[in-house]
Amino acid sequence: MEARITSEISDNICTISINRPDKRNALDGAMFDALANAMNRADADTNVHCVLLQGTGPHYSAGHDIAEFARLWPQPEDGSVRRCISAFAKQSKPMVAAVTGAAVGFGATMLLHADWVVAG
């Protein structure tokens, strides 16, 4: 199975991609954890000067995976969604979101933390 959250650094840019196009890049619990981890690594890495967020396929992100939503709530203090929100809020590097298609729910929330949003 291909990684649903990928992160790569090139030319001091950390590109974080949401890779679940068959589900409009909806996030499940494991993806929230992976996204939080990628954001925290980018923040801690002195070689990273900025973060680029993107979705693969025709949509940026449909937010929470509805099939898993009830299982994720209520969130404990160290829950995956809370960790992810915290990682976005604490990000000290400039963030650019490259948006195509839908950005719904948490997909839109991520954009509120970006310094620049480029939509197509």
pLDDT at 35: 97
My answer on whether omega of the bond before 94 falls inside 30° of 0, hence cis, is: no
Read off the pTM: 0.93
| Structural domain that includes position 63 | 5-119
State the average pLDDT for the chain. 93
pLDDT-above-90 percentage for the chain? 82
In CATH, what number is assigned to the domain containing residue 15?
3.90.226.10
Q: What does the pLDDT average to over 94-103?
A: 97
Helices 80-90 and 29-44, interaxial angle, to 10°? 30
Check whether 1 has a pLDDT greater than 60.
no
Banded model confidence at residue 74, pLDDT cuts 50, 70, 90? confident
